[in-house]
Amino acid sequence: MPLLDKLRRLAEEREGLLGAGQEPFGVPVEELISATEARIGGHEVLLAGTNNYLGLTFEPSCLQAGHDALDQEGTGTTGSRMASGSFSGHAALERELADFFGRRAAIVFSAGYLANLGMLSALAGPGDFILIDADCHASIYEGCRLSGAEVLRFRHNDASSLEKRMRRLGEDAPRTLIVVEGIYSMLGDRAPLVEIAEVKRGFGGYLLVDEAHSLGVLGGRGRGLTEETGTESDVDFIVGTFSKSLGGVGGFCVSDLPELDLVRYASKPYIFTASQSPAGIATVRAALSVMRDRPELRSRLRENSERLYRGLSALGYQLGPEVGPVVAATFDAPDEALDFWRRLLNDEHIYVNLMMPPATPAGKPLVRCSVSAAHTPEQIDRIVGAFERLRP
Amino acid sequence: VKLGADTNLVTTLKLDSQKFLDLLLDVEDAFDVLVPMEAVVDVQTAGELAEVIERRLRED
């Protein structure tokens, strides 16, 4: 097959799936008005698909920190962390993250995607095993592939499926890395972490939890599902991203294990990537401080999430099993979901995410909302009202 | 569709990548065996999948 044929085939698939009309992927945002409003297609649009869970993207202290770092340290580091790109801000953020999670140390990566790539490829290698939840994010799948380890899956959120496989691994179980997520991005459901931790304790091995969608959302201090479920002593590695609750870009891993420091020498996605810009690091440090000091943001996010979940549920939409900041309505057919998404944007001026199979569970398309602490109750009601008017 | 060793899982049964991996979970449980993802990268037909399972069972 000629080299580029596989890409040209994508054009046919795209045409078959989307036809003419508003492209649902990569929607151009013309102007940001606030954390929850933007101008799209010439209209003021309510944003309900941005993962901006705590609404910190226009937080004054974060803006100021970014401006100061830009003025004092320049636009970029022009080097990787292992070369010239480790500025004092990077090291300070690592100390602050370790302190926030109550862990021995942290590593900061240039993107959340790279955090999974970098950690998984460094922790496991040929002869090792990685056992992942079937619904894990693409970055986890790719990190596994990069590691060279034998990659196995267990049924989504099914601790007994994990246990069966750990039993089959026998004496190899202790050299197995189990990987789950705090909140799964498609339906917003949470891992049964207490049961998963119990399996890990029984068979040995290591446990890594990706708290990308649960950082700042769950737990008394916002540390995520690990804190919420009281499993911190069982979880060896917590990975996360700065691009959701912290309103920036980047990723991290925290751990008590001293080997974490050695990941810097073993992880190509860490070694061979330019480090995060000084301004980017500065806004994340400020956002971490806001997240720590203002637990009321978490309360407001929870209230907004409940308001939207209950509203859509009462309308008869089939949603994920748990209330959380990801509120996804399942549709039967891709064209039905696409039509709904387009009418939501073009007629109601509300932006949400459209998710298509095979990236979705059970092969069903999703219209996915993400809730923010910055949404007002009136904005949440506006979303519910639009879903009522457009109800299939 | 009558399933045979030559039945193509992708083109005939229309299994996308997600459905194929979910089938693998069922196969693992039915045969009480572990099949790593990289062992099925080149699998196209039911017969090829059966060969992978037999090989894994022998290795166990």
B3 touches A at CB < 8 Å: no
Alpha carbons within 13 A on the beta-carbon side of A187? 21
Spell out which residues of chain B touch residue A146, defining contact as CB-CB under 8 Å.
none
What's the token pair of residue A110?
A: 């240039």
How far are the Cα atoms of A12, A124, A355, A356 from residue A338, in angstroms, in the given order? Answer: 17, 40, 9, 9
**How close A132 comes to chain B (CA, Å)?**
11
pLDDT tens-digit series, residues A52-93? 999 999 999 999 999 999 999 999 999 999 999 999 999 999
Minimum CA–CA partner of B41 in chain A: A145
Q: Are strands A353-355 and A366-370 parallel, antiparallel or unpaired?
A: antiparallel
How far are the Cα atoms of A24, A339, A367, A375 from residue A14, in angstroms, in the given order? Answer: 11, 15, 18, 33
B38, B53, B56, B57, best to mutate vs chain A, most A CBs in 10 Å: B38
Of A164, A169, A363, the CB nearest to B19: A363
B28 touches A at CB < 8 Å: yes
Of A151, A153, A164, the CB nearest to B38: A151
Spell out which residues of chain A touch residue B29, defining contact as CB-CB under 8 Å.
161, 164
On the question of pLDDT at B13 being above 90, the answer is no
* pLDDT value at residue A13: 84
Q: What is the DSSP string of A155-169?
A: -TT-HHHHHHHHHHH
Is residue A146 within 8 Å of A117, Cβ to Cβ? Answer: yes
Is residue A360 within 8 Å of A366, Cβ to Cβ? Answer: yes
**Strands across the sheet containing A31-32:** A31-32, A37-40, A43-47, A350-351
Confidence bin at A21 (pLDDT 50/70/90): confident
pLDDT tens-digit series, residues A315-334? 999 999 999 999 999 999 99
A125 touches B at CB < 8 Å: no
User: Do B18 and A154 count as a contact with CB atoms less than 8 A apart?
Assistant: no
User: Do B19 and A153 count as a contact with CB atoms less than 8 A apart?
Assistant: no
On the question of pLDDT at B1 being above 80, the answer is no
On the question of pLDDT at A20 being above 80, the answer is no
pLDDT tens-digit series, residues A239-279? 999 999 999 999 999 999 999 999 999 999 999 999 999 99
**How many residues are given for chain A?**
392
**How close B5 comes to chain A (CA, Å)?**
25
On the question of pLDDT at A47 being above 80, the answer is yes
Catalytic residue numbers of A read: 185, 213, 244
What's the token pair of residue A63?
A: 């803006």
Spell out which residues of chain B touch residue A168, defining contact as CB-CB under 8 Å.
32-34
Torsion of CA A343, A345, A350, A355, to 10 degrees: 90
What's the token pair of residue A103?
A: 């862990």
User: Do A153 and B25 count as a contact with CB atoms less than 8 A apart?
Assistant: yes
**How close A232 comes to chain B (CA, Å)?**
29
Mean pLDDT of B26-54: 95
